[in-house]
Structure formats: C-alpha cells, structure tokens
Amino acid sequence: MNVFVTDYSSTHFTLQNIEIRSILLSSVQKLLIQSKIDKKLIDGILISTTSNSKYLAAQISEFLGIKSKFAFTIENLCSSGTNAIVSAFAYISSGLANAIIVVGADLYNPPGKIFECDESRGSYKHPIFWASLFTKAYKRKYGINEYDLARISSKNYNHALHNPYAFNKKTYTVENIIDSKKITDDLNILHCSKLCTGSSAILMMSENYAKKFSTDPVRIIGIGQFTDSTFFTKNDLTSMPSTKIASQNAFSMCKLTPNQIDVAEVHDAFSICEIMAIEDIGFTKKGHGADLSNELYQTKNNKINPRGGLLGSGHPIGATGISQTMEIVQQLQNKAGKRQISRANIGLIHNMSAAATSSTILILTSS
Amino acid sequence: MIITECKKCNKLVWPNCKFCSICLEKTRKRDINNIGKIIEFSKKDKTIFCIGEFEQIRIIGTLQTNSNDILPNSRIKLHTKNLHEQLTYFFTLID
Ligand SMILES: [Zn+2]
C-alpha cells in the first residue's frame, strides 16, 4: 500500500529554553490547523526525541484532543526522526493506520548530545573527536584541504538564509570559515552544526486518505536503513558503510539510481560528513565528494542541502530527520520559495546517528 | 586493560560482554597485548587524541609525547587510568 506525506510544519530553530512538551505542541497544533484535517481521522502520533520526558505522545494526543490508537516515542539518537517516519510508513502500508502525525523535537542541550555508552571513545566522547578523526583521515587519504571543507560550510550556511526556520541568519565566506575558532587541528567551529531547540512535524497518509484530503501529496517510494555497529572506532574513517547499504536498499526498493535524484538533504553534522555522504549515497565516486561540493558551490547550485543542512539550519536532534523530510516535500510540491530547485521530481533524505554507525535513506517523489 | 574472548571460537569481544557476538557462547576475561599501533590522530590545544589499535581492538586515548614525528602505524604502548570513575586510555610511543 502506498504511503504519502501530505502536510508539514515547523517551529523556528533557536536557543530557547522551554519544555519539550511545549515545543512539540507548537508544531503539531500548527500542522493540524494548516492541514485542516478532522482530528478524528488521526490514528496515531509518533514522537522522535532524545528527551528523557516520559509518555510524551500520550500527552500531546490528550492536549490536542486526538484519540490516538498508536502513540509512543522513538529514540535512535540523531536519526530518530527518519526512524519514526519509517515506523509510520510500516503502520500505514500494513493497513493498521490511515493517518499518522510524526513529530520530532529536542532542546539545545539534549541528553542525546553525547553518546556515553561508546566505551571505545575513552574520555573523548564528544562528537567533535570522531569528526576530527574522520576529517584528518579523509584529508590524508584523498588530499583535500581546508578550502574544500570551508566551501561546504559556506554553501550550507548561505542556503539557510532562505530557510525561515533556520538557526543561522548570517552569510559566511570561505575565509570566514577558515578564520573561525579552531576547535581541534582539523575542525573549526563553523564546520560543526549547532545543537538547538526546535520541532518539526509531518502528516503521513494512506493512498485513500491522500486522494481525499490532499491536492499535492508526495509519495515515499524508497526506504533503506542499516546499523553496522555501535562503537565508532570499529568504523572505517573515510566512508560510511551504513549509508552505503541504506542507499543501496532504498534505490533497489524504488528501482532508481542516484543520478535520478533532483534534490537531497544529507546529514552534514560536520562539513566532512557531506563529502562522505554524497560519495556513499552514490552521487559521485569515492574520493570525489569535495569536487562535487566545490562544483555546487561555484555554480550556486543548491540541490544538496537546500534548507542549509544541519550546518545552516541547526540540529534539534529529534526534529532533524523530519525537518529534512519537510524540505524535500516542499521542494517536490514546488513550494520551496527562494530555495526551489526547478523541476524537482525525486528527492532523497539522508539521516544518520553516532558517527554514521547507523543511517536511514528515504526517497520521495511527487509523481 | 582487560578484554573478553570467546571460550569456544576465541573471537575478541570488546567492549566487554559475557557472550560472544559470533557464536553466542560465554566469554572469558584476559589482558590485552598492550603494544599496538596508531590508526589516526588529531590535536585539541596541546592534547593529541588518537585511535590506537591493540590486537584487533580500537580505542581513543591521549598520546603522551613531545615528538612531532607521529604517523599512522607508529608503534605505541597502552596505559590505563581510572579518572572520575571512568577508564581513560593513554598511549606512549615506542622507538
Ligand atoms: Zn564465539
């Protein structure tokens, strides 16, 4: 059974210190008003967050007057959002549900910020350490330099200027990125996405419902997910095997190839991640990710990370995968305003967790 | 440093676990060979952090050296310390 995304909403991404419940309510209330859907038709609410607050989906259901059949939280660190979308897809495609709200949120200082359980990281548990080691190893193997990395950051911060919900509101030149504060020998502050407070929500529907209640539904045609380890040091440092396998599975499901993708949001938690992701998804050959990003930067082509990615938009962990999906849906509906990629028909979302030890790929189409 | 090893198939299981991830049999504890090599490193302020590989186990620790002559595959020795109830790893270069 086909599954569609029909509506979406988001809060602004900020450094506001508020209750997780409050920010979840904001995006879901907005979604319900915008979509004009009869609340009686909603079968469930799935929440993606790393927050430790309990029984959130039941609370949101009650406060907004929804009698959910299915209401629970899904947590899988930074890819919680797309994991929740995949769960909603399964409920709808199996016939258990016709309409599900998937909403993600986190605050600027979330429990999911540091993965304490990775004993292989010793006392170096903060993500800046794996990102530095990825960057150093990639530079050593493929000979990229600080300009290659800075162009990615500059590109994505600049894309975010046209995203009304993005945390970043400034333009940065390549030189600004290179001159920004050094975090480690291989990482500047502007190579790091910023944890922030935010919530994004989407409404997913069965084909019957989408035909009845939406004029421009976007269909999810490919899904791939893969978890290859928990512990970062077991990974190759210059590629993301989980992304590679998830992509192959997603492309195989919809019988498409990477060169057919018109627009993509990839998980640029750090600049190096965009290079590795676009290679492992298959947009370019291994070792040529920086060349592709450079070409996009030079030609002002925003087909990769049009909303600004995580670098430009900010990273409210549980909301990220849903915000990425919202962007691709807007692009495919031709409703992305100044960010619009012309004739975008097929879009891809790449969302990952904990140094790419697991990844999710979604492929969507408007046709 | 103590690691676990499968009693049946001898696979190294780390982080330590009571079961083998291949054959699911019980594991036993043993000391790791504390001589290994550098896989990759970077630097935060004056601290060099580095992935070291010992047998097939990879961990991130602090490389204690004044040398600027550090390269992947350099031989290192592993030391551990309990800092704030957390096992912390240190490496020193072997000539
Ligand atoms: Zn075994």
Return the domain boundaries, chain A: 3-109+196-219, 124-190+221-365
* Residue recorded with tokens 């590109």: A155
Contact between B12 and B22 under an 8 Å Cβ cutoff? The reply is: no
pLDDT at A25 exceeding the cut of 90: yes
| Interatomic CA distance for residues B11 and A359, integer angstroms | 27
| Interatomic CA distance for residues A308 and A270, integer angstroms | 12
User: What is chain B's pLDDT, residue by residue, as a tens digit (95 residues)?
Assistant: 899 999 999 999 988 999 999 999 999 999 999 999 999 999 999 999 999 999 989 999 999 998 888 999 999 999 998 877 778 899 999 97
Rounded to whole angstroms, the maximal C-alpha distance in chain A is: 57
Looking at chain A, the whole-number percentage of residues with pLDDT higher than 90 is 91
Tell if the CB–CB gap between B49 and A129 is shorter than 8 Å.
yes
Written as six digits, the tokens of B36 are 């290994």
CB burial of residue A289 (10 Å; 0-12, 13-18, 19+) = buried
**Residues near A178 by Cβ (< 8 Å), separated by ≥ 6?**
A146, A147, A150, A188
Contact between A241 and A34 under an 8 Å Cβ cutoff? The reply is: no
Of B15, B42, B86, the CB nearest to A120: B15
Same fold, A3-109+196-219 and A124-190+221-365: yes
* Residue recorded with tokens 């919202």: A326
H or E segment and range at residue A219: strand A218-227
Query: pLDDT band for position A120 (50/70/90)?
Result: confident
Q: What is the pLDDT of residue A318?
A: 97
- Show residues of chain A in contact with B60, CB under 8 Å: 120-122, 124, 129, 133, 233
Q: Is A126 on the interface with B (CB under 8 A)?
A: no
CA proximity to B41, closest of B85, B18, B71:
B71
Q: From A121, which residue of chain B is nearest by alpha-carbon distance? A: B60
Q: From B90, which residue of chain A is nearest by alpha-carbon distance? A: A122
Q: What is the pLDDT of residue B84?
A: 77
Query: pLDDT band for position A257 (50/70/90)?
Result: very high
* Residue recorded with tokens 């500047």: A188
CB burial of residue A33 (10 Å; 0-12, 13-18, 19+) = exposed
Q: What is the pLDDT of residue A155?
A: 97
Written as six digits, the tokens of B81 are 């310390």
**Residues near A77 by Cβ (< 8 Å), separated by ≥ 6?**
A50, A112, A115, A317, A353, A354
**ipTM score above 0.90:** yes
Q: What is the pLDDT of residue A233?
A: 73
Query: Nearest C-alpha of chain A: how many angstroms from B83?
Result: 9
Contact between A227 and A358 under an 8 Å Cβ cutoff? The reply is: yes
Query: pLDDT band for position A43 (50/70/90)?
Result: very high
Tell if the CB–CB gap between A123 and B88 is shorter than 8 Å.
yes
Mean pLDDT for A59-79 is 95
Alpha helices (runs of H) in chain A, residue ranges in sequence order:
20-35, 56-63, 80-93, 127-142, 146-159, 174-179, 207-213, 241-254, 271-281, 289-298, 309-313, 317-332
Probe site for chain A from B2, B37, B44, B88 (most A CB atoms < 10 A): B44
Query: Nearest C-alpha of chain A: how many angstroms from B39?
Result: 9
| Interatomic CA distance for residues A306 and A274, integer angstroms | 13
Contact between A115 and A125 under an 8 Å Cβ cutoff? The reply is: yes
Q: Which CATH architecture has domain A124-190+221-365?
A: 3-Layer(aba) Sandwich (3.40)
pLDDT at A234 exceeding the cut of 90: no
Q: Is A136 on the interface with B (CB under 8 A)?
A: yes
Q: Which residues surround ligand 1, an ion (CB under 5 A)?
A: B 6, 8-9, 11, 20, 22-23
| Interatomic CA distance for residues A126 and A138, integer angstroms | 19
- Coil, strand or helix at A342: coil
| Interatomic CA distance for residues A279 and B63, integer angstroms | 32
Mark out chain B residues that contact chain A at CB-CB < 8 A. Answer: 14-15, 39-44, 49, 51, 57-62, 72, 83, 86-89
Q: Ligand 1 centroid to A285 CA: how many Å?
A: 37
- Show residues of chain A in contact with B15, CB under 8 Å: 119-120, 231
The CATH number of A3-109+196-219 is which of 3.40.190.10, 3.40.605.10, 3.30.230.70, 3.40.47.10? Answer: 3.40.47.10
Question: Taking the CA atoms of chain A, what radius of gyration do you get in angstroms?
Answer: 19
Q: Ligand 1 centroid to B11 CA: how many Å?
A: 6
CA proximity to A110, closest of A274, A315, A283:
A315
Query: Nearest C-alpha of chain A: how many angstroms from B49?
Result: 8
Write the pLDDT tens digit of every residue in A270-311.
999 999 999 999 999 999 999 999 999 999 999 999 999 999
Query: Nearest C-alpha of chain A: how many angstroms from B43?
Result: 5
| Interatomic CA distance for residues A164 and A10, integer angstroms | 10
- Show residues of chain A in contact with B87, CB under 8 Å: 119, 122
Mean pLDDT for A8-12 is 98
